Amino acid sequence: GENVEQHPSTLSVQEGDSAVIKCTYSDSASNYFPWYKQELGKGPQLIIDIRSNVGEKKDQRIAVTLNKTAKHFSLHITETQPEDSAVYFCAASNGNQFYFGTGTSLTVIP
């Protein structure tokens, strides 16, 4: 089955700096890679996703890159703000099941 690994588990950055979270996957059949932001006491919120036919996708301060050959994908947040503080989960999907990373707790220090 698919195995998704996510690093780092915790990340602290100064406000305005960039944050990068990395994930790897094992199943070459995975073709859809969403990222979720979860605030305390709430459900995860889809913030950006990328499909296997694309190498990079950007939405304002958030970008995701995908390297299919190496089987890894990354989330990049630029100009971080305190409200970016949350737990972020990556996921890999083959169209049926979704496999999640273990999460990264991001703290943006004002």
Partner 1 sequence: GAVVSQHPSWVICKSGTSVKIECRSLDFQATTMFWYRQFPKQSLMLMATSNEGSKATYEQGVEKDKFLINHASLTLSTLTVTSAHPEDSSFYICSARATLTGELFFGEGSRLTVL
Q: How far is the CB of 77 from partner 1 (least distance, A)?
A: 18
* C-alpha pair distances (Å), 103 with each of 6, 53, 87, 89, 91: 7, 25, 6, 5, 10
Nearer to partner 1, 14 or 40 (CB): 40
Select 16 or 54, whichever has its Cβ closest to partner 1.
Answer: 54
CA distance 79 to 86: 15
Q: How many residues does the chain have?
A: 110
The residues of the shown chain that bind partner 1, judged by CB under 8 A, are: 32, 34, 36, 41-46, 49, 89, 91, 93, 95-98, 100-103, 105
- Calpha distance 97→104 (Å, rounded): 21
Least Å from the CB of residue 38 to partner 1:
8
Q: Residue 100 burial (CB < 10 Å; 0-12/13-18/19+)?
A: middle
State the nearest-atom distance from the C-beta of 65 to partner 1, in Å: 19
Q: Which is nearer to partner 1, 25 or 89 (CB)?
A: 89
Smallest gap from residue 106 Cβ to partner 1 (A): 14
